[in-house]
Amino acid sequence: MAAFGERLRGERRARGWTIDRLAEASAVSRAMISKIERGESSPTAVVLGKLSAALQLSMPELFSPAPGLPVAGLPAIGPGQAGEAPAAGGRRQAAAVRRAADSARWRDPETGYLRRPVSSPAFPAAVTEVTLPAGARVPYPAGAYAFIAQLVWVVSGELTLADGPAVHVLGSGDTFELGEPQAREFRNETADDCRYLVVVVRTATP
């Protein structure tokens, strides 16, 4: 997790924040942030959600190995811009094959929740494959959704998604487009793994 620690430190310093400032904004202890930045501790999914909300960076952006990319994996968009074709003469990224074995994976040390990036940082949307183990529960604060639009697509298994006070049970092939920012919890209340894709597009610039 040394690379992630460097990424976190770089984002914090780019804002001119001390560790104490980030700790206050995220409700993550100063000691934990310090350990993560030094590569001495792997953050849990819950901690990542809190850091995401405080820094106004999506989870894919937090895991991006290269700060300063033109869009850090998630382009800022305004109304009507999502999905638009490039303007005439605009440049697209070069075609490329990405092998599954080459994708960097991250596993939550607490729940076993597994993330694998599907898209590259240059793609207009961040696509992530998630495997949620049986019995796992991963909560995120409302602030983690204040600057993104997100769609969840269940590939296999069953996902229980608590969307504020509402609870949705999603099966294979079901999708859910998240609405206004609110606290959410992803649960697997079955005896088998649940696998789903998360598609994220940035809607505001931090």
Domain ranges of the chain: 2-57, 100-202
pLDDT in the model for residue 160: 98
Q: Of 118, 140, 142, 184, nearest to 45 (Cα)? A: 140
- Residue pLDDT, tens place only, 75-112: 333 333 333 334 444 566 778 888 888 888 899 999 99
pLDDT in the model for residue 120: 87
Query: pTM above the 0.75 mark?
Result: yes
pLDDT in the model for residue 159: 98
Q: Which CATH superfamily is domain 100-202 in?
A: Jelly Rolls (2.60.120.10)
Q: Which CATH superfamily is domain 2-57 in?
A: lambda repressor-like DNA-binding domains (1.10.260.40)
Q: What would the DSSP string read from start to end of the chain? A: -HHHHHHHHHHHHHTT--HHHHHHHHT--HHHHHHHHTTSSPPPHHHHHHHHHHHT--HHHHH-S-TT-SSTTS----TTTTTPPPPTTPPPPPP----GGGS--EE-TTT--EEEE-S-TTSSSEEEEEEE-TT-EEEE-GGGGTTEEEEEEEEES-EEEEETTEEEEE-TT-EEE--S---EEEE--SSS-EEEEEEEEE-S--
pLDDT in the model for residue 72: 35
Amino acid present at 177:
E
Q: Of 154, 113, 156, nearest to 136 (Cα)? A: 113
pLDDT in the model for residue 184: 97
- Ranges of residues in the chain with a pLDDT under 50 are 66-89
